[in-house]
Structure 1
Amino acid sequence: MKILCAGPTYIDESVMEKMGQSKTNPDLDPNYEKFHRSVERKISKLVNTDARSFIMLGEAILGLEASICSLMEKGEKVLVIYNGFFGEGFASYVEGYGGTAYRYEDDFQRGINLEKLENFLKNHNDFSIATMVHCETPTGITNDIKSICSLLKKYDILTVVDAVSSVGGEFINFDDFNIDVLIAGSQKCISAPVGLTLITISEAAKAKIKNRKSKIPSYYLNFENSYDFKGAPFPYTFNENLVYALDRALDLVLQRDFVKIHRDYALETREIFTKCGFELFAKDSLSNTLTAVKTPENIKSSDILKGLIKRDIIISKGVAQNAESIFRIGHMGNNISLQNFKELYIALDEVFKELNVKTKASLYETFLKSDIVKKD
Structure 2
Amino acid sequence: MATERRPIGGGGLAVLLLLQVAVTAAPLALLPFLGLHVAQMGAASVFWTAAILAAPAVTTLAMTPAWTGLARLLSLSALIGWAGGMSAASCVLIALASDPRMLLAGRLVQGLAGGGVVLALAFRAASPSAGRGFALMQQAVSAGCLLGPLAGGLAFEQGRIGALMLGCGGVILAATLATVAASRDLATEPAGEPRSEPSRFRDLPLLGAGMCGSAGAFAFVAFFPAWASAHDPALYTPGLIGLLHSLSWLVAMLVLPLWARGMDGLSPMIALVLSLLGCGLAFAAVPLGAGLVGIVAFRLLQGALFAGQAPALFAAVETLGPSRTVAVARARASLTVGQLVGPFTAGVVLVPLGPSGPLFAAAGLSLAGAVTLAATTHRPRRTRSRAP
Task: Identify whether the pair has TM-score above 0.5, normalized to the shorter chain.
Answer: no
TM-score normalised to the size of structure 2?
Answer: 0.30
* Greater per-residue helix proportion: 2
* Greater per-residue strand proportion: 1
TM-score normalised to the size of structure 1?
Answer: 0.31
